[in-house]
Structure 1
Amino acid sequence: MKRNLCLILCILFFIVGCSKNKVNSSTPMVPSTECRTEVKGLVLKYVLIDTAYEIYQVNAQKIDVFSEQEYASIGKDTHDHYLWLIDTYEQFDEEMKIELHAIFESIHPWALMNQTTPLKDHANVEEIIGCLHGSNQLRLNKKLKKSISTFFPYFYYGFLQDYLEINQETFDQYAEEINQQLNQHNANIIEFMEKISGLKFKTRYKPIFYYTLRPIGAMGFNNGNKKISTLQRTCRDDAILFSTPFHEFSHELFQQFTKSKEFKNIGKQLKQIETFEADWINGMQDSYSWLAWCEENLVEGFAKYLRYKYYGTSSIEGIYTYDEDFFNYLKDLNFDASDQSLKEASILFYTKIIEEQ
């Protein structure tokens, strides 16, 4: 069975060696200032929740992709981070371990981080907690509010604050170096994705990428005209910078047709494919509805195609049931949105899969 979603970023790390090519000549250039991509260092409104969740993933969920072997295979820096995740959890009071579990067994970190996204980048722990408690969208019950207000200050002041002081300057430097590279290239991820997909984003977004401490996993958010993606610690230059955002940002494009009646009908038929459903049940059901799982396979396949068109990367390992197949389908077609829409290509691909069963 294909591996967990979060393996995306581990795979992307290994692509670095074959991705350090010049950007494809077809890549759109010279974005306007307000749309220029910007990379930022570690900010608490994301790192507080995301790092707590990574501790939970490593110590409580014990998924293979978050094993010591996986972290060590990426590099010494990442392995050292893994050891910190383990050591920190071991130092937690038993009550705090219970609170940590209570938070992430009740709500996905994306929902929490989506609420903290509008906060200023210098927001502190108290402001983050106040934001979560006051959210009308989250509608946290009293028990969960207590867990949040108890655990996060304990975690930050007892552990994360010192760790951030050690790492902050390094990640700020990473961000500064990539921003300098981007200013030289004038790369525009939004225009490139619109050109290849044949679809338009809702607004004229400014892409912003925020570093997190994790090497595996990423999330995407919208905040007004800002299109945001978190960035794994292994990204040190612009040679693979867009690899993760290609995935995160593509959801908005695909959702222009994955909510249609036609796609829902295809989704019903796809559920008859036992291997596809089994992959969803065994590890993905907690994160995706069935239709979202069908969309996720297409999104990652298309993200691979974007990487291929942008970076010239063609040897890309699949991580889901059909993402690699969809990438190869688009590649073999030499997909061109002026000849066939992305919706048509997606529907035809899944129709072909169904007919072959």
Structure 2
Amino acid sequence: MNFKKIILFFSILLLLLCARLYTSSAEVYNQNFQIKNVAFKISLIETAYEMYNVNLNDSNSYEELYKNSSKEGYKHYKWLKNTYNSMDPDMKKKLRNIFEFNTCWNYINEVLELKDDASSEEIVNKIISSKNLNLNMYLKNDVDLFFNYFSTVYFDSYFNKYENLYLNRATNLNKIILNKNIDIIKFIENVSGLNLDKNYKLIFYYDFNPLQSQVFKNNNTIISTVQLDTSIQDLISIAFYQYSHYIFDNFKNNSDLLDVYDNLLSDKFFTSKYNKIGKDYYDFNIWCEENLIAGFSRYLDYRFFQTDSNFTSYAYDLDFYNYLRKINFNPKNKNLSDVCIDFYKNKMIQAPLN
């Protein structure tokens, strides 16, 4: 075999290997349900925000929360504290300015269209050029100087240290989802009797923050951050809840249902819960819908996992879940919209007992 043939042989071998690697990688994800590694574009901002919280926003209460989250969570907390203590005093002021002016969610929402491993310079440029954030000249300067400093001096090495741990976890979970042939959208459609756009996509990104997840929506894509110890069952439950919002969009303007929402204003128990835990986040109609969505998503959990639930987040979400089980909800017998109306009408009859 002459030299040219040897070169050709190894070139073909390399192409075949790359093709196999590409195919393997392409098969890792379910199109509507993806679990991804920590993304630098998200975690750089999220971790800086954690540092702001634990050091500048009632830090005493956070230590116990991180300690109770996990061993790794508490190590993360100590890194946040030690890193902040070693930072340049001027950079500490810039950190405070950045998150006192705007929320972590708003900053991250601006960089989601960047590639996952975008550099700190790309992240900074996206933030300071954003028309949505409307940053003044001084804050743009703080963002520029702080994030490039934080990335270079501290965060790059921290990110690289743990990246493979999260990548391996994501790869394993995606393989399990594929091997079990779990089709989230098909299951929801079968149970609800309603159709979802097949282009809907839910992407989970692992994040260093062990206490809080954040959700972003961009057209037909839902993005949620999750913790390392989040189980497949938890991920599927999150998917049920998020996709249920799209299911309820099918009849959110139903006039009969909206009339029922208006009548619920006379339900003292329901309105007291709204005033206590819902008013700051929802208008009243969305509050009515959220109770139904939370209950329905829990019913999806029950149908999928065959496990019971007695947890409540709102006012009537647990009651709606139990109602769906009691009537053995089947969309062939009565559509979901009518079932929601019947449920709330029954609650209003019982309202004086609350």
Is TM more than 0.5 here? yes
In structure 1, the partner of 2:6 is none
Structure 2 stretches lacking a partner, 5+ long:
1-26
Q: Does 1:205 align with 2:197?
A: no
Computing the radius of gyration from Cα coordinates, the structure with the larger value is 2
1:327 to 318, 321, 327: 321
* Displacement of 1:43: 0.5
Number of residue pairs aligned between Structure 1 and Structure 2: 325
Mapping of residues 174-213 of structure 1, within 5 Å:
174-213=169-208
Q: Tell me if structure 2 keeps the 8 A contact 1:35–1:188.
A: no
**Take 1:109 and 1:84, find their aligned partners in 2: how far apart are those partners?**
19
Q: Does 1:218 align with 2:207?
A: no
Mapping of residues 105-254 of structure 1, within 5 Å:
105-142=100-137, 145-223=140-218, 226-235=221-230, 237-254=231-248
Q: TM-score, normalised by structure 1?
A: 0.74
Q: Aligned pair in 2 of structure 1 residues 345, 173: CA closer, same or farther (>3 Å)?
A: same
Mapping of residues 64-79 of structure 1, within 5 Å:
67-79=62-74
* Displacement of 1:171: 0.3
Q: Say which SS state the counterpart of residue 228 (structure 1) adopts.
A: strand
Name the Cα RMSD after superposition.
3.6
Mapping of residues 273-352 of structure 1, within 5 Å:
273=267, 276-277=270-271, 279-282=273-276, 285-352=279-346
* Displacement of 1:189: 1.4
In structure 1, the partner of 2:41 is 45
Structure 1 stretches lacking a partner, 5+ long:
1-30
**Take 1:191 and 1:335, find their aligned partners in 2: how far apart are those partners?**
17
Q: Say which SS state the counterpart of residue 229 (structure 1) adopts.
A: strand
Q: Which has the higher contact order (CA 8 A, sep 6+)?
A: 1
Q: Say which SS state the counterpart of residue 356 (structure 1) adopts.
A: helix
Q: Aligned pair in 2 of structure 1 residues 88, 229: CA closer, same or farther (>3 Å)?
A: same
Deviates more, 1:118-127 or 1:243-252: 243-252
Q: Aligned pair in 2 of structure 1 residues 256, 218: CA closer, same or farther (>3 Å)?
A: farther
* Displacement of 1:314: 1.0
Write out per-residue CA displacement over residues 64-123 of structure 1, whole angstroms, 9 at most, x where no aligned residue.
Answer: 9x8444443443223333333444455566665555455445544444333322211221
Deviates more, 1:337-346 or 1:281-290: 281-290
Q: Tell me if structure 1 keeps the 8 A contact 2:298–2:309.
A: no
Q: Which has the higher helix share?
A: 2
Q: Percent identity?
A: 34
Q: Tell me if structure 2 keeps the 8 A contact 1:44–1:122.
A: yes
Matched to 1:214, the amino acid is N
Write out per-residue CA displacement over residues 214-259 of structure 1, whole angstroms, 9 at most, x where no aligned residue.
Answer: 2343334445664433222212x53433122222332232234345
